[in-house]
């Protein structure tokens, strides 16, 4: 069973942010940074940390909202509030906080950055702008389409898209794939946005299982 702890990270500009950490039994295979949806480091994000720690990785979920509102955990109905908090954080600050989380787990081995929704776009940003990223995985990263015109990932990436996700229509997916032609992209028929989140109505157990299996195989490449 993984071991959990709360941690405090310090970014390069001195900002301190919280983090939820899961450590595996035995020697870790590597480090994983788990990046939240727009609802904070909630129970489901902690479950994601637990999943990767159970699979042998030191996993950390930085509280990316701490720049605006400390310890913010939003209800799934509070989409507009989550968007407002995310939009209030400047790109340089986001990168600094991402780097702090990456640095916190790099002693465990190769580092993968894995994000969901807003966090999926942040995984792309980390792969493009941060150091020490060996791999990155974006699950339904809606905002990647805002970044891919001006930056490309420097680390290998895997993308998971739901075919029913209206926030990522086919033209947006093609734009992302064109920006990162060597990235590995998977499209899940019958899956919508947030299809891996079993706390939300759009959860698709079959697609989630396959996506996580593909992610673990991707991480195993080092």
**Mind listing the domains of the chain with CATH numbers?**
3-219 (3.40.50.1820)
Question: How much of the chain exceeds pLDDT 90, in percent?
Answer: 98
pLDDT at 1: 78
193 flagged as catalytic: yes
Q: How far apart are alpha carbons 123 and 142 in whole angstroms?
A: 11
165 flagged as catalytic: yes
pLDDT at 2: 83
pLDDT tens for 132-159 read 999 999 999 999 999 999 999 999 999 9
Select from 4, 1, 66 the least CA-distant residue to 36: 66
pLDDT at 127: 99
148 flagged as catalytic: no
- What sign does the CA torsion over 89, 92, 142, 58 have? negative
Q: How confident is the model at residue 32 (pLDDT cuts 50, 70, 90)?
A: very high
Check whether 35 has a pLDDT greater than 90: yes
Catalytic residue, chosen from 103, 117, 148, 212, is 117
Q: How far apart are alpha carbons 149 and 39 in whole angstroms?
A: 26
Q: How far apart are alpha carbons 152 and 11 in whole angstroms?
A: 23
> How many residues can be counted in the chain?
222
Check whether 129 has a pLDDT greater than 90: yes
Angle between helices 91-105 and 118-129 (to 10 degrees): 80
pLDDT tens for 152-199 read 999 999 999 999 999 999 999 999 999 999 999 999 999 999 999 999
Catalytic residue, chosen from 97, 165, 180, 192, is 165
pLDDT at 222: 80
Mean pLDDT of the chain: 98
């Amino acid at each position: 069973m993984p071991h959990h702890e709360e941690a405090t990270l310090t970014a390069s500009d001195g900002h301190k942010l919280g983090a939820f950490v899961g450590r595996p039994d035995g020697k870790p295979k590597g480090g994983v940074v788990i990046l939240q949806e727009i609802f904070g480091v909630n129970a489901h994000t902690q479950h994601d940390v637990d999943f990767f720690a159970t699979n042998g990785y030191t996993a950390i979920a930085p509280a990316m909202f701490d720049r605006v509102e400390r310890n913010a955990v939003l209800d799934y109905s509070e989409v507009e509030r989550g968007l407002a908090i995310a939009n209030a954080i400047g790109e340089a600050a986001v990168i600094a906080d991402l780097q702090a989380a990456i640095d916190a787990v790099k002693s465990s081995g190769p580092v993968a950055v894995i994000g969901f929704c807003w966090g999926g776009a942040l995984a792309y940003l980390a792969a493009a702008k941060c150091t020490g990223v060996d791999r990155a995985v974006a699950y339904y990263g809606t905002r990647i389409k805002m970044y891919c015109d001006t930056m490309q990932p420097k680390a290998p990436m895997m993308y998971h898209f739901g075919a029913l996700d209206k926030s990522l229509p086919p033209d947006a997916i093609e734009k992302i794939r064109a920006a990162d032609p060597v990235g590995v992209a998977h499209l899940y028929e019958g899956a919508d946005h947030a299809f891996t989140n079993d706390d939300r109505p759009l959860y698709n157990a079959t697609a989630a299982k396959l996506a996580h299996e593909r992610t673990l195989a991707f991480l195993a490449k080092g």
